[in-house]
Chains A and B, each alone.
Chain A
Amino acid sequence: MTDIKFVRDAMVEEQEPPAATAGFVGWIRGNLFSSTLNAILTILSGGFILFVISALLPWIISPTWNAGSLRECHEILAGHEGACWGVIRERWLQLLFGFYPSELYWRVVLDFVLLIVAVAPVLFTGLPRKMLAFSAIYPFLMPWLLWGGTVWLPIAVAFGFVLGFLAHRFAKPIIGGLGGAILAFLVPVVWWLFLAGPVSGGLASVLPLALETVESRNFGGFMLSITIGVVAIAISLPIGIVLALGRQSDLLIVRSLSVGFIEFIRGVPLITLLFVASTLLNIFMPPGTDFDIIMRVIIMVTLFASAYMAEVIRGGLAALPKGQYEAADALGLNFWMSQRLIIMPQALKISIPGIVSTFIGVFKDTTLVSIIGLLDPIGLSTTIRADQNWNGIVWELYGFIGLLFFIFCFSMSRYSMFLERKLQTGHR
Chain B
Amino acid sequence: MSEIALEREVDRSHMQVSDKVAIQISHMNKWYGTFHVLRDINLSVNEGERIVIAGPSGSGKSTLIRCINRLEEHQAGDIVVDGTELSSDLKNIDKIRSEVGMVFQHFNLFPHLTILENCTLAPIWVRKIPRKEAEETAMHFLEKVKIPEQAHKYPGQLSGGQQQRVAIARSLCMMPRIMLFDEPTSALDPEMIKEVLETMIQLAEEGMTMLCVTHEMGFAKQVANRVIFMDQGQIVEQNEPNEFFNNPQHERTKLFLSQILGH
Q: Of the candidates A324, A330, A425, which one forms a contact with B71 in the assembled complex, judged by CB atoms under 8 Å apart?
A: A330
A349 at the interface (CB under 8 A from B): yes
Known: A332-B126, A332-B174. A327 touches B112 (CB 8 A): no
B70 and chain A: residue at smallest CB distance: A329
For B111, list chain A residues within 8 Å (CB).
Answer: 346, 425-427
For B155, list chain A residues within 8 Å (CB).
Answer: 427
> In chain B, residues 147-175, which have Cβ atoms closer than 8 Å to a Cβ of chain A?
154-157, 170-171, 174
A327 and chain B: residue at smallest CB distance: B108
Q: Of the candidates A330, A337, A345, A428, which one forms a contact with B112 in the assembled complex, judged by CB atoms under 8 Å apart?
A: A345
A331 at the interface (CB under 8 A from B): yes
A292 at the interface (CB under 8 A from B): no
B184 at the interface (CB under 8 A from A): no
For A426, list chain B residues within 8 Å (CB).
Answer: 111, 154, 156-157
Q: How far is the CA of A329 from the CA of B108 in the complex (A)?
A: 11
**Residue pair A329, B97 in contact (C-beta under 8 Å):** yes
Q: How far is the CA of A334 from the CA of B104 in the complex (A)?
A: 19
Known: A327-B104, A330-B102, A426-B154. A342 touches B125 (CB 8 A): no
Q: How far is the CA of A324 from the CA of B157 in the complex (A)?
A: 18
**Residue pair A323, B71 in contact (C-beta under 8 Å):** no
Q: Of the candidates B71, B121, B125, which one forms a contact with A329 in the assembled complex, judged by CB atoms under 8 Å apart?
A: B71
A137 at the interface (CB under 8 A from B): no
Interface size on A (CB < 8 Å)?
23
Q: How far is the CA of A423 from the CA of B112 in the complex (A)?
A: 8
For B102, list chain A residues within 8 Å (CB).
Answer: 327, 330
Q: Smallest distance from the beta carbon of B80 to chain A beta carbons, Å?
A: 18
For A423, list chain B residues within 8 Å (CB).
Answer: 112
Chain A 15-43 interface 0/1 with B at a Cβ cutoff of 8 Å (1 = within): 00000000000000000000000000000
**Residue pair B156, A428 in contact (C-beta under 8 Å):** yes
**Residue pair B156, A326 in contact (C-beta under 8 Å):** no
**Residue pair A324, B110 in contact (C-beta under 8 Å):** yes
For A341, list chain B residues within 8 Å (CB).
Answer: 121, 125
Q: Smallest distance from the beta carbon of A154 to chain B beta carbons, Å?
A: 34
**Residue pair B126, A333 in contact (C-beta under 8 Å):** yes
**Residue pair B174, A425 in contact (C-beta under 8 Å):** no
Known: A323-B106, A425-B154, A427-B154. A331 touches B112 (CB 8 A): no
Q: How far is the CA of A427 from the CA of B118 in the complex (A)?
A: 14
Q: How far is the CA of A339 from the CA of B70 in the complex (A)?
A: 18
Q: How far is the CA of A426 from the CA of B109 in the complex (A)?
A: 13
For A427, list chain B residues within 8 Å (CB).
Answer: 111-112, 154-156
For A345, list chain B residues within 8 Å (CB).
Answer: 112
For B69, list chain A residues within 8 Å (CB).
Answer: 329-330
Q: Smallest distance from the beta carbon of A291 to chain B beta carbons, Å?
A: 42
Q: How far is the CA of A423 from the CA of B126 in the complex (A)?
A: 25
**Residue pair B174, A331 in contact (C-beta under 8 Å):** yes
For A321, list chain B residues within 8 Å (CB).
Answer: 106, 108
**Residue pair A331, B126 in contact (C-beta under 8 Å):** yes
Q: How far is the CA of A323 from the CA of B187 in the complex (A)?
A: 14
Extra inter-chain contacts (10) besides given A331-B171, A332-B98, A342-B110, CB under 8 Å: A323-B104, A324-B108, A327-B108, A327-B109, A330-B171, A331-B97, A331-B121, A332-B122, A341-B121, A427-B156
Chain B interface (Cβ within 8 Å of chain A)? Answer: 69-71, 90, 94, 97-98, 100-102, 104, 106, 108-112, 121-122, 125-126, 154-157, 170-171, 174
- Identify the 3 closest CB pairs spanning chains A and B, nearest first: A427-B111, A426-B156, A332-B98
